[in-house]
Every structure is written in C-alpha cells, then in structure tokens.
A and B are shown apart, each in its own frame.
Chain A
C-alpha cells in the first residue's frame, strides 16, 4: 500500500501535536520515524493506522482518502494495515488465538458464532485442527512456531512482543505500522524482529517504524524521517540522513548530542 501524508496536522483541544506533516511511503519500503520522546511519533503512527483522523490535511492510502469514505469502506482499508505497539498487549487467550484474531474478526458473523458455540462444547464438532497453517507460518516468522498453545502469561517480554508482531502479520497486511516494537527487547529478540521486518519488506509490505534506536534505524530503513516537536525536520535516504544530515538539529540528534539552552531544545 502506498501511503501519503499531505500537510497533515493533528491536535487535541487547543494543543497541536503534529503540524503540516508531508510524508510518503511506498510498498516494499521501510520508513523510520526518529525523534525525541514527545515529538509526536506515536501520534503520527496512529494517524497512519487510521486510529485518528487528522484535524487538517489529507492522508491517502493508494490514492484514496479513507476519511472521505463510509465507515465500512474505511474499515476495508484499515484492515490492510497492521499495527504493533510498544507493549505486546496480548489478549488473555492462547498464543494461536492471539495470532489469528485478525482473521477471526474478518469472518462473517454466522461463522464466528458457530466457532464460539463450538468452543463452549467440551469437544469440537468438527475435526479441524486446533491451529491453522497460516497462524503457524506467522509464528514461524518470529521463531515461535512451537509456542502456539502457550498461555501469554508464560511468555517472556521478548516472546510476547514477537507474538504481537505475528498477530499483525497473520492478517496479511499491506502496510505495517510499528511503534517502537523493540524498545524493551534484548539483542536476540530485537534481531529476530528486525529480520521479520525485513522479510515483510521482501514480501512488498510497506513498513512505517518509530524507534529510539539510531543503529536500528540506520540498519533497516530505506528512508528516515526526523520529527521534532510535531514537525518533520528532515526526510531522506537512511545513509544520507545519518552520514550527511542537511539540518543541524538532525545532525545533533543522530549524534546523541541533545542540547538544551534556556530550556529550549536545540536553541
């Protein structure tokens, strides 16, 4: 899915969180948003995943403004987008049911009600396997194929986050929106998720990622966007932004050289 922000602003009450954001992302591309805490990264991602409607400007998904569509038509677009959050937020159900939730909510209601009734009975009415192959494939992408019947409470933080990534992948989205998915993970779990992100790109998924990890941003991004106090300071190819940033504030941020002067960031 091609995603395009044109002069997008977003605010709550009288507080403007994002101002005039223009950014594009194409299928098979990883665009990473970097910026200090409170810069508006999560808000930008929530707008991209159609959680919120811009207060100004336009977001287009494959050329269509989803906020100009009916709720059902917008839902169809939203269902092409998968979002992973900083916290795994798994549901109180076995791993497999967490992973296939995206496909279950897409089923027609009669089928869903039948599935619910079947689960109430001690034994299933049919002989279908307890977990389907698509769920296992998604779990395999994050190295957890054998964990399909585990309780989320028994998972480590890293495993839970990998399951939440599999949950987003299992619905086969065209666009993945990832909000600091590796911020609490150890290097091994981070590496597994980064590999899964790159596999998603290979399958022509677009990926919009927010991270505080500059090495990660440099490692896996095609393009990097630096967000500061709700404004996009600089967008460009990853190599160029990190090696030769055009804006002084970007240069200082990627160097980890945050400066405060008279309480003004980057004064």
Chain B
C-alpha cells in the first residue's frame, strides 16, 4: 500500500500543498499579530500585565478540539461570520491554526524579549537610539527565542488534527486530490481505513517537512 501511495504523487502533492499553504499562512498571520503583542507586553508596564501574561500562557495549552468547535460556531451559517461561507474551507483551517499558534508564538517571544537584559536596552538607548532602535536591537538580541517561538507555533499548526478536522472536514475532490485534507487528517483517515503503511509514510513526510522548515528558518536566523 505504501508503494501505491508513493506511486500516486498527485495525491501526496495535493495533501502537502494544502498542509503547507494552510500552516505557513496561519504562521505568517499569527506572527504578524503575536510579535507586536509580545513586544508591547514585554516593554510596557501597565495594570493587568501579569493577568495578560497568564492568559497568553494559558492560551499555549488551548485544547485544539475546543478551538475548532468555537471557530465552527463562529463560521457556521448561524454564526456571526456565517455569510462568509467558510465552513470546510482552507480559510477556516487557517483561522483555527492562527488561534492555536498565536499564543505559542506570543508566549515564547514574550519570554525571549523579557529575558533581554535591561542593561542591553539601556546601552541601545545610550548610543542615541530611539525607542524604535531599542525595540529593534532587543528583537535582534532575542531573535533565537523569537525564532523558536515561531517554529513552535508552526509545529503546533502543522501537527494539528482536531480543529482542522472539525472546521475543514478532511475533504478530498472526486479525483482524490485534497481540498481540505492535510497530512495529519490524511494520517487519521488512512489509519481508520486500516492503511497503516500509507499512514506511516505520511507521518514520515510530515516529520521531514517539519525538519526542513526548521532547518531553513534556523539557517535564515543565523544559527
């Protein structure tokens, strides 16, 4: 069966394409939201900061099935976003993966930003830096932690099953190519069908993909 699966590159390519498109889009969007939040919370002192940090940290452990259910309620026909007709679409999966990845990226990036010594920020200010310069220098000092956060978010997104199954539906077109079927939901599907070899092969593909993305990102980050 595994050989059959390898002999069907169209099937495999479509699943990988959907998985990567959904997860990478979700990561880009959640990074754009998460990093400014991490910076504001990391830099500023305000009432409720500890509570907000606690909420972010709690969000890192959100049960994915519950998130999927909530997203489904929002995008279903009777929900506030019902008119957008997002149920069982890649866009719905992107939304749920964003919600799951954002607290991970925010929490790890916040921790990295807060771990930068105040003395480094003072030094950046002391050489004539503006607040923007201080933030950029802090970002640079915290870059490995920030990258780790983004990678952890990506890991959470691409390995996600529960919520994408609920909002995406694990749908394939009649020709077998994927509409909302991701590697993880395909593994679930193949396992339930008893196609363990195919499921294992897909699992190996998933691991290779995660390793590849980690390697590229770490390389770009200079590590």
Contact = CB atoms under 8 A, between A and B. Distances in A.
Interface of A is mostly: loop
B194 to A, nearest CB: 49
Interface of A: 49, 51, 75, 78-79, 82-85, 87, 89-93, 101-102, 105-106, 164, 167-168, 171
B144 to A, nearest CB: 9
Interface string B103-130: 0000000000000010110111111111
A259 to B, nearest CB: 33
Interface stretch (B67-75, B133-141, B184-192): B133-141
A106 B126 contact: no
A114 to B, nearest CB: 15
B122 A105 contact: no
B128 A164 contact: no
Contacts, number: 52
B88 to A, nearest CB: 40
Given A91-B137, A91-B140, A105 B123 contact: no
Contacts of B141: 91-92
A126 to B, nearest CB: 21
14 contacts: A75-B128, A78-B128, A84-B126, A85-B119, A85-B122, A89-B123, A91-B120, A91-B140, A101-B127, A105-B133, A167-B123, A167-B127, A168-B127, A171-B128
Contacts of A82: 126-127
Contacts of B125: 51
Nearest to A51: B125
Nearest to B138: A91
A167 B141 CA distance: 17
B130 A164 contact: no
A90 B120 CA distance: 7
A93 B140 CA distance: 9
Kindly name the residue among B125, B129, B140 whose own CB sees the greatest number of chain A CB atoms within 10 A: B129
B119 A105 contact: no
Top 10 A-B pairs, shortest CB-CB distance: A83-B126, A79-B128, A102-B127, A89-B119, A89-B123, A105-B133, A105-B129, A87-B119, A89-B120, A101-B127
Interface of B: 117, 119-120, 122-130, 133, 137, 140-141
A51 B128 CA distance: 10
A89 B125 CA distance: 12
A167 B122 CA distance: 13
B120 A105 contact: no
Contacts of A90: 123
A91 B123 contact: yes
Given A85-B119, A89-B117, A105-B133, A168 B126 contact: yes
A171 B133 CA distance: 15
Contacts of A102: 127-128
A51 B122 contact: yes
A91 B121 CA distance: 10
B128 A106 contact: yes
A89 B118 CA distance: 9
B155 to A, nearest CB: 25
A59 B137 CA distance: 29
Nearest to A87: B119
A85 B123 contact: yes
B180 to A, nearest CB: 35
A135 to B, nearest CB: 13
A93 B141 CA distance: 9
A94 to B, nearest CB: 12
B126 A105 contact: no
A214 B219 CA distance: 50
A105 B123 CA distance: 13
